[in-house]
Amino acid sequence: MGDNGYQDRTEPATPKRRQKARSEGQVAKSRELNTAMVLLTGFGALTIWGTSMYQQTTNMFQYWFTQLGTNHLNPAEVHKIFGQITLTSAYMLAPIMFSLCLVAILSNYLQVGAMFSLKSISFNFSKLNPLNGIKRLFSPNSLVELFKSVIKVTIIGSIAYITLKTELLQLFPLLDQEVTQILSFMFRVAGTLFWRVCLGLVVLAILDYIYQKYQYEKKLRMTKQEVKDEFRQAEGDPKVKSRLRSLMRQLAKKRMIAQVPNADVVITNPTHYAVALQYDSEKMIAPLVVAKGQGYLALKIIAIAQTSGVPRIERPDLARALYRLVKVGEYIPSTLYRAVAEILAHIYRLRARSTEI
């Protein structure tokens, strides 16, 4: 996709978008960095174990060439010789192979972390479409890969040319040197050339990783509408949430109104505020607010209290204080104990007189 496909994507990717891309195997990773790290490791391993490997190889072939003239060769003996050579070679190459595998895994881990995804290697029929293949062939990414390949070849060629040019004058004296000296010269030049090429590839790999990171972030960018849609999916549609809150408030009001007949007294102001209190000295530590309301809800509480025979006391200041300070289902604060206690005592006296009559 060209840059026109990203013109409207101005917002950075959300954590959910990043997690989805990661689960699909889409991460910022440079293959050039992996290659450079493996080459450096291989060169370092050869530098460390190369002398030992050379000595072991020399001893091994000297031994077997010596034995060829003394042992009777047959299929079993040949099989035995090749088996021992294979084991010896595997033993010599094991440290290098282990180092290469470890660095390859570590290089990927440092770039993308721990990740396992089968979707990136799943079969995709669209990849078999020739038209899609032609589009990918001439896509901007293919041009970038071509440019990187040209740069890589140019770097390697330039380093090889400069290195060999400096060593060119030392080639002619080798005609009079022994084989070991010639091999020593070749290994030295090859090591210098390889080391310089690796350093050049490391620089190219770092630049490639920066580019891959930039492309990855650019690909994950989102439009403002996509961010809004994702937020709605995560948090819920505001209209739906508003409707749910409205239904919850209605249910809460119904449950509250249902508690008014159980109240001991309703304190009013006289019609603007209404607070229903309940108190059981054996079960409660203080009077409990079972319902409260303002305006229309206050009138409804008063009407239900009258229908249920719940006493109504007009105390404007106390009604406003209870409405403001205490939520439904909470005990009244200690600062209002005395005022409420006087009202409850009055209610209890009225009940006692009605019982006597």
The domain ranges of the chain are 3-232, 258-356
Tens of pLDDT, residue by residue over 106-145, are 888 888 777 666 665 565 666 666 666 666 666 777 787 7
Per run of 10 residues, the mean pLDDT along the chain (length 357 residues) is: 57 81 79 84 82 79 70 71 80 85 85 68 62 67 80 86 80 74 80 84 86 86 81 67 79 86 88 88 89 90 90 90 90 90 87 69
Return the DSSP state at 335: G
Among the listed residues 245, 340, 262, 352, the one whose alpha carbon sits nearest the alpha carbon of residue 304: 262
Element (H, E) at 198: helix 179-220
Q: What order of strands is seen across the sheet that includes strand 273-278?
A: 288-294, 273-278, 265-268, 312-314
Phi-psi region of 350 (alpha: psi -120 to 50; beta: other; left: phi over 0): alpha
For the chain, the 3-state helix, strand and coil shares in percent, each to the nearest 5, are: 75, 5, 20
- pTM value is 0.51
Distance of CA 315 to the CA centre of its chain: 60
Distance of CA 243 to the CA centre of its chain: 34
Given a contact cutoff of 8 angstroms between Cβ atoms, the answer to whether 248 and 290 are in contact is no
Return the DSSP state at 127: G
CATH number of this structure's domain 258-356? 3.40.1690.10
Residue 291 identity (one-letter amino acid): A
Tens of pLDDT, residue by residue over 236-268, are 666 767 777 888 888 878 888 888 898 989 999
